[in-house]
Chain A
Amino acid sequence: AAGVIQSPRHLIKEKRETATLKCYPIPRHDTVYWYQQGPGQDPQFLISFYEKMQSDKGSIPDRFSAQQFSDYHSELNMSSLELGDSALYFCASSFIMEEGQYFGPGTRLTVT
């Protein structure tokens, strides 16, 4: 079965640079969620989109922005990167919310 695709899988950036993470949800899934997982931490909700509209917002810095496109893929844009942004970034998707969210493999971002 098709899964959530995230690219790139690994990304190394320097401080103050910009990064773009991409997410391709499972076909038919209309909701996309972004989570950030720091080292030794649980995933923290950043932002979600339902039918291409932002549906909820969590602890996402103002330096980050995201959108969902007409083909339902989503991009997380991160600017003025800081060392503390180094983390594993997950995208998850769902169609029927009570079935739960299905996670992609994550993008490991390292800021040096």
Chain B
Amino acid sequence: AQTVTQSQPEMSVQEAETVTLSCTYDTSENNYYLFWYKQPPSRQMILVIRQEAYKQQNATENRFSVNFQKAAKSFSLKISDSQLGDTAMYFCAFMNGESGGSNYKLTFGKGTLLTVNP
């Protein structure tokens, strides 16, 4: 079974600064996908960024980028130019990509609560 660990329960950052959220995972699979989801106070789960394990290039979506270290099983999220609207719980998630049609469930970490201060 896969496990996802987020070692930072809470973090804070000043508006316009950069912050990095950590995530490590454990798996014996070679084909998998990693995601970061954002859950603001509204409790909506919003997909922020995705990374395929077979791609060495780190994914980037506007102010959000990841540092994917496959050998170290590390998948951190960097938020640049932090904005007040980035205040949310951030969940790292793992999805096994091996099987067809099944086992595509997401396994989440416990989350990191990020507060952006004005």
Binds A, one of B11-19, B67-75, B77-85, B101-109: B101-109
Within 8 Å of chain B (Cβ to Cβ): is A106?
A: yes
Q: Is the CB of B105 within 8 A of A98?
A: no
Query: Given A31-B104, A56-B104, does the pair A42, B111 have CB atoms closer than 8 Å?
Result: yes
Residue contact A56 to B103, C-beta cutoff 8 Å:
yes
What does DSSP make chain A's interface, helix, strand, loop or mixed?
strand
Count contacts on B: residues with CB < 8 A to the other chain: 25
A100 → B minimal CB distance (Å): 5
Within 8 A of B (CB), among A60-112: 88, 90, 92, 94, 97-103, 105-106, 108
Contact A105 B105 (CB under 8 A): no
Q: Which single residue of chain A is at the shortest CB-CB distance from B48? A: A100
Q: How far is the CB of B23 from chain A (nearest CB, A)?
A: 12
By beta carbon, the residue of chain B nearest A46 is: B105
Number of CB contacts from chain A to chain B under 8 A: 66
Q: Which of B43, B45, B107 contacts A45 (CB 8 A)?
A: B107
A33 and chain B: residue at smallest CB distance: B105
Chain A residues contacting B33 (CB-CB under 8 Å) are 97-98, 100
Residues of chain A contacted by B44 (CB below 8 angstroms): 103, 105-106
A85 to chain B, nearest CB (A): 17
8 A Cβ contacts from B44-84 to A: 44-47, 50, 52
Q: A48-B104, A58-B105, A100-B95 are in contact. List 7 more A-B contacts (CB 8 A).
A: A43-B91, A45-B107, A55-B101, A56-B105, A92-B106, A97-B97, A98-B50
Binding site for A on B (CB under 8 A): 33, 35, 37, 42-47, 50, 52, 91, 95, 97, 101-111
Interface residues of A (CB under 8 A from B): 31, 33, 35, 41-45, 48, 50, 55-56, 58, 88, 90, 92, 94, 97-103, 105-106, 108
